[in-house]
Structure 1
Amino acid sequence: MNDQAQFVAALLDPAQPCPAQLTSWNEAQPSRRFAVYRNNLIGSLVDALADGFPVVQQLVGEAFFRAMAQVFVRQSPPRSAVMLDYGADFPAFVEGFEPAGGLPYLADVARLERLRSRAYHAADSPALDAAALAGALAEPDRLASLVFQLHASVAVLASRFAVVSLWAAHQGLLDITRVGPYGAESALVLRHGLEVEVIGLRAGDATFIQGLQVGMPLGRAAERALDEDPAFDLSVPLAQLIRTGVIGDYHYATDRHRI
């Protein structure tokens, strides 16, 4: 192990000694200064996770969250100087963190919070002109072959748990005492203007939007949604996408026409 790797390993593991190569310009012991630096580093990374996953912290309490986050930080230090990316694999870590096993919904709440952060920082792109979109939707013979390009902030989370309700309750939008965490819910996450929205979806609506995200034509995505939910109503998710301005472009599956 080279000197740099040894330094990083010692920073993340309090059981390791201060690197022998460190010296001090004054009488202070290098080991004491290194311990302060180590504590500050780990503390700042834990703070970053707490900022990114506030509902997860509220669900487990600050002490438990910080202890869990410290384990994560030591296992998964930043791989980039861009801290916006840090914590992307925290939900998967939470899912496998044995002390949190009594809260099986915690990982999906973390996934929802991560999608919100991703949506907030997604690149800007213009919404499709309303007249152009109306013209495309007014051609019934070609409607099924429409392929939409959605804004980069758009994401769908289909969960076995009540992630939308849990998140909303911690924003003061629902009474937490009335929220049961074990009912399946799906969430649509997107940025509308400068605001990130979390919208509850029926299972069929979630399937439909997921289909659009991977480039399915409108007709095929609607067929999959109907297989999921016979009560699927195309107008509902389509109206949500239009209202929030996240349809950026379209083409037809048959001729690759683009506006």
Structure 2
Amino acid sequence: MPSLGERQHAFACALLDPERSVPEGLVGPDGRPSRKRFNVYRNNVVVGLTATLKDAFPAVARIVGEEFFLAMGRIYVAIEPPSSPIMLDYGKGFPTFLQSFEPVTSLPYLSDVARIERAWVEAYHSADIAPLEAAAFAKISAMDFPELRVTLHPSWRIVRSAFPALTIWQMNIGDAMPREVDMEAGGEDAFVLRSGTNVEIRSLPPGGADFIEALAEGFTMMEAMKRAMTDERGFDLSSCLSGLMTAHAFIAFDIATAQHSQPRQAS
């Protein structure tokens, strides 16, 4: 007699594999196994999960077409079924799946577009913390600025791509119209941040991704700037910092050299 755990495992496997028979011991209201009933239920589950994917990755769906996306989604669902009842978490591995999914190898940017969309979902559902206004930094002296450390809003995400993935994403959402993209123009780094209830995705300038990641690791402004300046394309501190403040990317700061300093929080 199979244990409860074994029966549940058999049910889960059969639910996502149309080649499997009705799990042993599973019967309908008449007390008899019914493959037809089980197939209807199985199909509803798969359809529901692929619809969840399509809602989370609308640009990817538009790029490949709805029919192809649904077929691809069914394969993903079979390979990576939900591990949590929280559907927000579902699809986290989809961008990685796309990297090795042979039918889309002709679209090498597709997994990065999916990473942007996943970052959008994560940013939207991140903790709700009020950001600092730009005026909060006005009293920082030029002498203290190099030792300034900041805390980024928890919604921040960076997606680096060797392709113009951000441009491709932007022209495949809403009412935007696809156009020809120069795939040889170089990669793009996207900065994802939620401001209030709106998630914004901005293109980062050269060195911007290195600068932000260094700040997130706890480095001072000077240390983060040095890391960003290793970018051969050049780094503009003023432009990058202005963009971050305009985006309301910071929630606290302190001065690294201050004795017993306390972080300045958003009010």
Say yes or no: TM over 0.5: yes
Bigger share in helix: 1
3-state SS of 2:126 partner: coil
Would the aligned equivalents of 1:155 and 1:188 in 2 still touch at CA under 8 Å? yes
- State the TM-score, normalizing by the size of structure 2: 0.90
Q: For residues 30 and 87 of structure 1, do their structure 2 counterparts lie closer, same or farther at Cα, with a shift above 3 Å needed?
A: same
Bigger mean CA deviation after superposition, 39-48 or 20-29: 20-29
Which residue in the other structure is 1:21 paired with?
A: 25
Over 3 Å counting, the alpha-carbon distance change for 1:229 and 1:148 in structure 2 is: farther
- Identity among equivalent pairs (%): 39
Does the CA-based 8 Å contact 1:166-1:181 persist in structure 2? no
Q: Secondary structure at the match of 2:24?
A: coil
Q: Give the aligned partner of residue 169 of structure 2.
A: 167
Of 249-258 and 85-94, deviating more is 249-258
Shift in alpha-carbon separation, 1:121–1:181, aligned structure 2, 3 A: farther
CA distance in 1, matches of 2:139, 2:46: 55
DSSP-derived class of the 1:203 partner: coil
Partner-residue secondary structure (3-state), 1:94: helix
4+ runs deviating over 6 angstroms: none
2:47 maps to what in 1?
Answer: 43
**Alignment size in residue pairs:** 257
Q: Residue 174 and residue 65 in structure 1: after superposition, are their counterparts in 2 closer, same or farther (change >3 A)?
A: closer
**C-alpha distance in structure 1 between counterparts of 2:117 and 2:33, whole Å:** 42
CA distance in 1, matches of 2:33, 2:77: 26
Q: 1:33 is matched with which residue?
A: 37
Cα pair 1:188 1:199 within 8 Å, conserved = yes
Equivalents in 1 of 2:20, 2:125: separation in Å?
A: 37
Counterpart in 2 of 1:134?
Answer: 138
The aligned residue for residue 110 of structure 1 is: 114
Aligned-partner SS, 2:139: helix
Unmatched 5+ stretches in structure 1:
none
**Displacement after TM superposition at 1:230 (Å):** 5.6
Output the CA distance in 2 between the equivalents of 1:127 and 1:223.
26
1:54-65 to structure 2, matched below 5 A, reads 54-65=58-69
Cα shift readout 1:103-134 (whole Å, capped 9, x = no counterpart): 11110000011001111111110112544322
In the alignment, which residue of structure 2 is the partner of 1:207?
A: 210
> What is the one-letter code of the residue matched to 1:67?
A
* 1:1-259 correspondence to structure 2 within 5 Å: 2-26=6-30, 30-136=34-140, 139-171=141-173, 176-182=178-184, 183-229=186-232, 231-255=234-258, 257=261, 258-259=263-264
| C-alpha contact (below 8 Å) 2:22/2:33 kept by paired residues | no
Deviates most, 144-153 or 19-28: 19-28
The gaps in structure 2 that reach 5 residues or longer are: none
Amino acid paired to 1:209 = I
1:20 offset after TM fit, Å?
Answer: 2.1
| Structure 1 pair 19–174 and aligned structure 2 pair: CA distance change class (3 A) | closer
Question: Counterparts of 2:254 and 2:121 in 1: how far apart (Å)?
Answer: 29
